[in-house]
Amino acid sequence: MKKLGFNIVLLGMIASGKETQANILKKKYALKFVESGVYTRKLLKEKSKIGDWARRTAGVGKPLPTILLQRFLVREISNKPKNKDLLFLGTPRLKPEAQLLKKILNERKENFIALYITLPDKEIYKRSIKRSTGNMKAIYKIFDTKKLIGVRIKWHKDQVGKTVKYFKSLNKLKIINGNQSVPKVTKDILKVVEEYKELS
């Protein structure tokens, strides 16, 4: 697999299939995942002051403190392999993190494209409840209760919405319709990535 020559930021609504699409992209292109979710779950299990901080925030459905995610981004970008591009999965979600990401990549003279997978509220509830009751990751059983889903949707629209607008202002954002079959979502994403590759 060859490098694309640019990094990918893959954002999306709750239960929009980000991980599924990220894994498909990883099989096609030389990409290293930068997953804030994996980092957050690690902190939630950590017996330390930072772990306690994570449990008081991310552990109750709130976002992880920005300073912790900023440290994470700096470390991951600094450790980027020479033979791969980065795929930021579900991060940066907050505007200050997005601004930091752009600043670091600019300093390294690296390019990126941001993809945002949309999904209607009704479908979010449907998919979230389904994955919380099925044979899915334990984290979903904690976060995908009906009450928390509503809280997360509101927070996502308020906060991630600002990040989406920021990337749009940079002319870096492409919207992907997530309310369709997995193969169709994949087709739309690959079309955008290949078009951006031709322009880069």
Q: pLDDT tens digits, residue range 68-83?
A: 888 888 889 999 999 9
Assess whether pLDDT exceeds 50 at residue 119.
yes
Least confident span in 8-22, 109-123, 146-160, 170-184: 146-160
Q: Helix/strand/coil (H, E, C) string of the chain?
A: CCCCCCEEEEEECCCCCHHHHHHHHHHHCCEEEEEHHHHHHHHHHCCCHHHHHHHHHHHHCCCCCHHHHHHHHHHHHHCCCCCCEEEEECCCCCHHHHHHHHHHHHHCCCCEEEEEEECCHHHHHHHHHHHHHCCCCHHHHHHCCHHHHHHHHHHHHHHHHHHHHHHHHCCCEEEEECCCCHHHHHHHHHHHHHHHHHHC
Q: pLDDT tens digits, residue range 7-48?
A: 999 999 988 999 999 999 999 999 999 987 778 888 888 899
Assess whether pLDDT exceeds 60 at residue 143.
no
Q: What is the pLDDT of residue 64?
A: 76
Q: How confident is residue 131, by pLDDT bands cut at 50, 70 and 90?
A: low
Q: How confident is residue 93, by pLDDT bands cut at 50, 70 and 90?
A: confident
Q: pLDDT tens digits, residue range 147-169?
A: 677 878 888 899 999 999 999 99
